[in-house]
Structure formats: C-alpha cells, structure tokens
Amino acid sequence: MSNISKVSYLLGKFKGSGKGEYPTISPFTYTEEIEFSTNGKPFIFYQQKTWNANGQPLHSESGYMRFPPNGKIEWVNSEPTGITEIYDGEISGENNEILTFKLTNIQRTPTAKPPHTTDVLRKFTFDQNTNTLSYTMDMATTKTTDLTHHLSASLQKQ
C-alpha cells in the first residue's frame, strides 16, 4: 500500500476553529479551512486559509505533500509572507491517523520580515469516529529560540 492511500482520509475540505499563542504576541482565535486534493499522482495539494472573528483574512499557505517510496512524507509549503518550508514527515498510529512533520529547510525572500522562523514541528491527528482533523504547531524563531507551542485547531470534514 502506498503512503498516499494510507492517508486518503485527508482528501476533502475541513472547516473549524483554532487558537494561537506565542510569547511575543497576544493570544488569538481564528476560523480555518483546509483542503486536500489530488489529481491521481503520488502527491496531495494542500491549501489553508484563516480568518479572524470579523471575517478578515489572516494567514494562508499552500503546498504539496509528496509520498516517496521510502515510506516517509515530504511536505513543501509556501506562505505569502515570503517563506517556503520543507518538512520531513512520518505516518503513525494504529490506523495511520497521525502525521508528524519536522522542518528540515526554510527559505525566505529578502523582504520576509523578522523575527524569522528557525524550527517547526506540526502534528495532525485524524479521528475516524468524528471525521475531525486536529493539529498542533510548535515553532522557534530568532527571538524565541526553543520550540514553543503556537497553534492548535480542530476541523470538521465537510
């Protein structure tokens, strides 16, 4: 079984809410939509958007999850803030319901503003009973050098 078939539960659209915090910012909440799609090739297109309570756009990102024959997942992710991230990932759990991604490379445009991200750990967990995708994101920056909790969300499959 290829890794992409192990995570076919991702395909589709998820909507829900999340909360963010970090030592250098005030806590906040957001509404989120993530869509995972494929054209039959061994990768999944990922597109994410968030909004504040007034419906104004916040963060967005998009990229590709690749499924090489080595059993890992590679994730190439781009942000409109001038950042591109590359992650190495693993599939785990009794039903392949946990995806863990560790940042391996990050590139910035010359105008990407500081503080700069230096490390990221993302963990997605899918609950097959409730069709819910939850995630956490820990981040380190040039200002907060240890991996520190930043985001968590729970999204319902539509």
pLDDT tens for 84-108 read: 999 999 999 999 999 999 999 999 9
In this prediction, residues 42-63 reach a mean pLDDT of 97
* Residue 145: predicted pLDDT: 97
Has residue 58 got a pLDDT over 60?
A: yes
* Arithmetic mean of pLDDT over the chain: 96
Here the tokens at position 103 are 């940042």
Residue 7 CB neighbour total at 10 angstroms: 21
Domain range list for the chain: 1-54
Whether 21 and 149 have beta carbons less than 8 Å apart is answered as yes
Looking at residue 105, the DSSP 8-state letter turns out to be: E
* Residue 143: predicted pLDDT: 96
Whether 48 and 34 have beta carbons less than 8 Å apart is answered as yes
Phi and psi of 95, rounded to 5°? -115, 25
Give the DSSP H or E segment for 6.
Answer: helix 3-6
In this prediction, residues 27-51 reach a mean pLDDT of 96
Phi and psi of 73, rounded to 5°? -125, 135
DSSP notation for 11-78 = -EEEEEEEEEEETTEEEEEEEEEEEEE--SSSEEEEEEEEE-TTS-EEEEEEEEEE--TTS-EEEEEE
Here the tokens at position 89 are 């990932």
